[in-house]
Structure 1
Amino acid sequence: MNHTLLSVEEFASRRQRFADQLPNASVALFPANGEITRSNDTEYPFCQNKNFYYLTGFNEPEALLVMVKDASGNSTSTLFCREKDPLQEVWHGRRTGPEQAQKQYGFDAAYINIEADKRLPEFFESADRVYFCFADQPAFEQQVFNWLTQVKAGAKQGKKAPAQLLDCSAQIAEMRLFKSSAELGIMRKANVLSGLAHQRAMKQSAVGKFEYQIEAEMLHEFTLHGARYPAYGSIVAGADNANILHYTDNQDALIDNSLLLIDAGGELAGYAADITRTFPVNGKFTDPQATIYQLVLDSQLAVIEAIKPGANFAQLTDIAIRVLTEGLVELGILTGDIEQLIEDKACKDYFIHGLGHWLGLDVHDVGDYHIDENRRQLRAFEPGMVMTIEPGLYFPADCLEVEPKWRGIGVRIEDNIVVTEQGYENITVNSPKTIADIEALMAK
């Protein structure tokens, strides 16, 4: 995860904004991720803890950020990280070390991580409250208790342990929900390179190729433009596989006169793109495929046009349900009174997932949706929020209640949208999605 697209000042500003929310006499702790073994003595590619990364930009495992706000309201940030070790670095790669980490990342202090056991109890002695993200790393909670125990052991010497342990997940989530101009710049780039990958997939699609070969084309394009890794496991789902929402086997051959649904995006400087396109393997939609595809596209376009400050996901979902329901009635897939069908959400038999989600450092990014007792997402949109919009219709091959011509068709179309002062900005700009544009690109 290369942080060089964001300035050191951006991360320092985040730490200060978080510190401003802390009460005096507080300590906040943010651990980095560790490496995870894949097989015997090899590891999975390292992915940093997103909250830790958001506040530091530091991309090494086995680190800890400690933020202290003293009784007078002064705040400091301290990093604990791996020490410089020439032998380990020969085998496993270069380490920044505390001295350079302090200089390069703007911390007030930095130490080797084995110093944490000595210094954390000292930090705790002058604090009333300790904050950390409870669900982030369950094992870290035990470490916090160990440090507290050390402080409590000195009670006879007048040492006083913090009285409260508090979860700061909500504060960090709220900060991450609103993207800065620098973050939006990265997300635009992530979308452009991901769009190029979707174009490449369309161009390389051919009957008889395997789903994993198309996935490989996309991974090549991501990397070519600086996205070292995909933002999530790519879904490359041909024919009836498109009706499995999180299909990642990507192992089947592509079939003539079938669709290929690809849900994939690159990760750039930690930020995710999340784009879905559905297109014909042979470059030409059949009439039933085009009919379903256009209906999904019509619903997506109607929803996107309604995005503006003050709108919410519940309202957008109502729009999508109305467009899809009216279209399904026209096709004879749904029957009955349209208003009653809309009220019953009858189209959800075929539109089987949510309309969208927040997007950022995580694909399904953090941030409160303000969900009511009816599971409606009522949070009013504000400028700087980024979301996906991804309606879909799914008719599995064994869906006997629909005509045979619809069976096996699965369509999803997904773009990434920024809420602006005036309305919205669709940052998914170069991934064709009209039938004419897809067929024209694939005919080249």
Structure 2
Amino acid sequence: MHLFSTETYIERRKNLKKIMKGGVLLFLGNEESSSNFKDNWYPFRQDSSFLYFFGLDVPGLAAVIDIDEDKEIIFGDELTTEQLVWHGDQPKLADLARAVGVAQTLPWKETETYLSKASHRKIHYLPPYRPENCLKLMHWFHLRIDQIPLHVSEDFIKAVARLRSIKSEEEMVEISKAVNQTVQLHRKVMQLARPGMYEYELLGLVNGEALAGGGGLSFPPIITINGQTLHNHHYGNKLEQGRLLLADFGTESAMHYAGDITRTFPVGKQFSASQKEIYEVVWNAHRAAIEALKPGVRFLDIHLLACKQLVEGLKTLGLMKGDVEEAVQQGAHAMFFPCGLGHLMGLDVHDMEDLGEAIVGYTDELKKSTQFGLKSLRLGKELAKGQVLTVEPGIYFIPQLMDSWQAQKRHKDFINYEKLEEYRTFGGIRIEDDFLITANGSTILGEPLETSPQELESLR
């Protein structure tokens, strides 16, 4: 098992207790999850907040920080002799707990007993996303499933988000490992992809290399000639000359810190003239957004800056028209860019998304937009030194959206629908890199990966 120093976990919990001041903080680790029958499991992935504060990458655990009684306890069971036959000898839970600075462990069944005795005090829990953890909360707190969100602790969410948002030096070492492996793997895909291959052949390469690196994948890869579909997890298409291949994937380190990079390149040796034109529009927006990254600037404003850059480029190509500021304000650009510019990244590739974007990515004063496109921006608030995030502008030609908006004559003053028809089978382009916010700006993470059209063509 990979762990930071004992002091790291003690300090993290100490900082959490300072913010929360009182009550019982409940952490639910994850269990093994069955894919098609009980003992055939998906790969285990521990809850990221449990990892952050308790470090133990082991299924079947819960923990409490009882601030009022100054106790920290990890709940779980040792393997029985019969289980050891199947799973082999495992470290004792007490030894694992000591490694992360926790002195007390109790059997799993004592979790309910402890919470019952503490029921007259405030018990804080985070939003559950696994059904088995929902069932536990229903049983322990006598709730219906629809009541669970009503009892989630917003103070607890804010405290966890505040601490996890700013990365320490040792966390940056892990993130850099993941990003560097991601870079190497992207370069390999860009060198090996050929007309006549199938997308799943590249998926197999990505999966194998990620596992061989000692970690795994940080999310299901997107490797597709249909890049206009934002989260495309179909891998059955043959790579064809003249098409673009969009590859969006990342690895995670053995400690589960993520990388996330996207490149779009020609299936053949070179971009076509129209592909290069669109690519350069995205690339210009990418560079403009990167230059704007610094503490104190709202990511919402950087997103809008990138949108304006995209509109400027699309106007040059005759795909958009009218006033740039007004087009972005009304959301006309979302025909081509219906998603957000980026997201926080750390122990989760969309960091802390289970805690809720409204708190993690926004503030009490800055609320998420309800406008199509802008409502998909996961991060809007001011940036801070120590945050890690992605920047990933794109242009997508989505036939269903084109037809729907044209039938409604939506944004007809800003979109040239006649010209747009020429791009119906174009696909999509996205460029994505990962950044650390520094005192005065930002630093790109990992070894720089080829980005310009000329660099990509040289790799092809």
Per the shorter chain, which TM-score range? Answer: 0.7 to 0.9
**Contact 1:328–1:347 (8 Å) recurs in 2:** no
Q: 1:294 and 1:93, CA in 2 relative to 1: closer, same or farther beyond 3 A? A: farther
SS at match of 1:388: strand
TM-score w.r.t. the length of structure 1 is: 0.87
SS at match of 1:243: coil
Q: 1:38 aligns with which of 19, 35, 38?
A: 35
1:104-115 matched pairs, under 5 angstroms: 104-115=99-110
**Contact 1:200–1:218 (8 Å) recurs in 2:** no
1:46-95 C-alpha deviation (Å, 9 max, x unpaired) = 11111111111111111111111236xxx331111221323212213543
**Contact 1:231–1:265 (8 Å) recurs in 2:** yes
TM-score w.r.t. the length of structure 2 is: 0.84
Q: 1:276 and 1:115, CA in 2 relative to 1: closer, same or farther beyond 3 A? A: same
**Contact 2:397–2:424 (8 Å) recurs in 1:** yes
Deviation at residue 108 of structure 1 after TM alignment:
1.9
Match of 1:234 in 2: 221
**Contact 1:355–1:389 (8 Å) recurs in 2:** yes
Q: 1:428 and 1:258, CA in 2 relative to 1: closer, same or farther beyond 3 A? A: farther
Match of 1:138 in 2: 134
Deviation at residue 98 of structure 1 after TM alignment:
2.4
Match of 2:367 in 1: 372
Distance of 2:259 and 2:205 partners within structure 1: 17
Q: 5+ residue gaps in structure 2? A: 144-150, 353-359, 404-416
Question: Which deviates the most, 87-96 or 191-200?
Answer: 87-96
Match of 1:99 in 2: 94
The one-letter code sitting in structure 1 at the alignment partner of 2:166 is: F
Q: 1:34 and 1:381, CA in 2 relative to 1: closer, same or farther beyond 3 A? A: same
Q: 1:281 and 1:142, CA in 2 relative to 1: closer, same or farther beyond 3 A? A: same
Deviation at residue 230 of structure 1 after TM alignment:
0.6
Distance of 1:205 and 1:142 partners within structure 2: 49
1:47-58 matched pairs, under 5 angstroms: 47-58=45-56
Distance of 1:245 and 1:221 partners within structure 2: 24
SS at match of 1:84: coil
Match of 2:280 in 1: 294
1:302-324 C-alpha deviation (Å, 9 max, x unpaired) = 00110001111121012111111
Distance of 1:335 and 1:102 partners within structure 2: 62
Q: 1:128 aligns with which of 121, 136, 147?
A: 121
Match of 2:61 in 1: 63
Q: 1:172 aligns with which of 160, 177, 182?
A: 160
User: Between Structure 1 and Structure 2, whose CA radius of gyration is higher?
Assistant: 1
**Contact 2:32–2:42 (8 Å) recurs in 1:** yes
Q: 1:298 and 1:93, CA in 2 relative to 1: closer, same or farther beyond 3 A? A: farther
Deviation at residue 405 of structure 1 after TM alignment:
5.2
Deviation at residue 103 of structure 1 after TM alignment:
2.6
Q: 1:84 and 1:97, CA in 2 relative to 1: closer, same or farther beyond 3 A? A: farther
Q: 1:430 aligns with which of 438, 445, 448?
A: 448
Q: 1:181 aligns with which of 148, 169, 173?
A: 169
Match of 2:81 in 1: 86
**Contact 1:276–1:415 (8 Å) recurs in 2:** yes
The one-letter code sitting in structure 1 at the alignment partner of 2:10 is: A
Deviation at residue 408 of structure 1 after TM alignment:
2.0
Q: 1:373 and 1:27, CA in 2 relative to 1: closer, same or farther beyond 3 A? A: closer
Q: 2:228 aligns with which of 243, 258, 276?
A: 243
Structure 1 residue 417 corresponds to structure 2 residue 435:
yes
Deviation at residue 414 of structure 1 after TM alignment:
0.8
1:254-278 C-alpha deviation (Å, 9 max, x unpaired) = 1111110011000111111111110
**Contact 1:82–1:95 (8 Å) recurs in 2:** no
Q: 1:273 and 1:179, CA in 2 relative to 1: closer, same or farther beyond 3 A? A: same
Question: Which deviates the most, 55-64 or 138-147?
Answer: 138-147
